Structure 1
Amino acid sequence: MKRLLFILFIAIATVSNAQEANWITDFDQAKKVAKKTNKPILMYFTGSDWCGPCKMLKKDFWQNPEFLKQSKDFVLLEVDVPFREDIITPEQFKKNKELQKKYNKEGAFPTLLALDANGKIKERISAYSMLRDTSGYFAFLDKARAIR
């Protein structure tokens, strides 16, 4: 009986932790989906292998069950600019650097933009502090949700 309960516990923990947001990495595809679904785009600039605040934000916000529920209201676009060359393809890296030149000229990481389906910036939030307070990001989602 104990073994059965242990297996059940592991199965439930695995399923509940497996939920992830559906991120797109191609800007043109994100715009098409946004137009089709009438949802705003959340464009997230990250340095996945070098940006400490990006790593904290991933754990505290992007993997937060409340965000995962709300993520269905948006088209999620991840723009990764890693240092390591084996994380994304050279073609994707080039596209992401072009997006950075246009949408994140300051080079701030992490940066989250809310865009309409045409790619026009409507809202912006940058940085994530060591205090690990996600309330500003959840407030950002409330503003972004109104974009159509």
Structure 2
Amino acid sequence: MKTIFTAIFLALFSVLAIAQTRFEKAKKTASEQNELILLNFSGSDWCIPCIKLHKNIIETETFKQLTTDHILEYVNADFPRSKKNQPSAEIKKENASLAERYNSKGLFPFTLLLNSEGKILKTWEGLPSESAVSFSNEIKSFYQKK
């Protein structure tokens, strides 16, 4: 009898653990920490503007400071083409769901600034023309307005 209850408990726990996606975790953390969410749709191994966005903005210390300062939660919905770069099945499913909800046109790169409930505050289609500092400052200005 104890074994049956343990098995049921583990099965329920595993379902709940899988149901908690990266985006749901970001929303929860953003809500708890009073942060914004940056959702970025990219093709990390085929989209040149996506690669430039990550190199020139996302991977900079200026941008990373936004997460350190609890201004921002960052979620990357990546759609690589190469087999060696494919994410897990769960991540693929989540990325497809995010694309269905936020990127129905299939734009790459496509970046959205969201509040903790997932409401769109600002979008960037393609590679932002501003520097990492300007991009980060724009996010900070939205953070200060909320």
Q: Per the shorter chain, which TM-score range? A: 0.7 to 0.9
Structure 2 CA distance, aligned partners of 1:114 and 1:133? 15
Query: Cα distance, 1:147 vs. partner?
Result: 6.0
Stretches of structure 2 that go unaligned for 5 or more consecutive residues are 1-20
Match of 1:41 in 2: 37
TM-score with structure 2 length normalisation? 0.72
Match of 2:114 in 1: 115
1:134 aligns with 2:125: no
The letter of the residue matching 1:134 is S
Match of 1:106 in 2: 105
Stretches of structure 1 that go unaligned for 5 or more consecutive residues are 1-24
Structure 2 CA distance, aligned partners of 1:134 and 1:111? 16
Structure 2 counterparts to residues 5-84 of structure 1, below 5 A: 26-72=22-68, 73-84=71-82
1:146 aligns with 2:133: no
Structure 2 CA distance, aligned partners of 1:106 and 1:139? 27
Structure 2 CA distance, aligned partners of 1:106 and 1:39? 27
8 Å contact kept, 2:46–2:80: yes
Structure 1 CA distance, aligned partners of 2:142 and 2:43? 23
Cα deviation, 1:17-48, whole Å, max 9, x if unaligned, reads: xxxxxxxx711111111111010111111111
CA RMSD of aligned residues (A): 2.2
The letter of the residue matching 1:126 is E
From the two aligned structures, give the one with the greater helix fraction: 2
TM-score with structure 1 length normalisation? 0.72
Q: Structure 1 residues 105 and 139 mapped into 2: Cα distance closer, same or farther (>3 Å)?
A: farther
Segment drifting more, 76-85 vs 48-57: 76-85
Count how many residue pairs are aligned between Structure 1 and Structure 2: 122
Match of 2:12 in 1: none
Segment drifting more, 64-73 vs 110-119: 64-73
The letter of the residue matching 1:50 is W
Overall identity of the aligned pairs, in %:
30
Structure 2 CA distance, aligned partners of 1:126 and 1:140? 15
The runs of at least 4 aligned residues of structure 1 exceeding 4 Å deviation read none
